[in-house]
Amino acid sequence: MASLRIAYGAALAIAPARTTRSWLGADGALPGAGVALRALGAREIVLHVGALAAVVNDAPARPWLLASIGGDCSDVAATFAARRSNLPEKAALKTLAVAGGSAAISAAVLAALDS
């Protein structure tokens, strides 16, 4: 899971407009959006490299996973708040599925690590 999230972060950092086309539509190509999307990509990379390193080194992964869940939930909340703006149709539902699903998977991994 962490490896996929790292790859997603790298895609956001390298090609933010293309990576977020179905999420943000044409607005993802705006210069300001690129700044925020690259920062989001960095968040994904840092959090999931940290989680992966924690698991590999038998260190606590809980803080990394909780931060990942928080980030996913904020992505869902922000997208739903803007759903009536210029976002593509069903962007909020797709974000709920992807980011919400990622949060659920991270929560399941967290529960498995805790047991």
| pLDDT tens-place string over residues 87-99 | 999 999 999 999 9
Report the pLDDT value the prediction gives residue 74, as an integer from 0 to 100: 97
Closest C-alpha to 75, from 64, 67, 63? 67
Q: Is 15 exposed, middle or buried (0-12, 13-18, 19+ CB in 10 A)?
A: middle
pLDDT of residue 61: 94
For the stretch 59-78, pLDDT in tens is: 999 999 999 999 999 999 99
pLDDT surpassing 90 at residue 115: no
Does the reported pTM lie above 0.85?
yes
User: Which residue ranges make up each domain of the chain?
Assistant: 2-114
Please report the pLDDT score of residue 113 as a whole number: 85
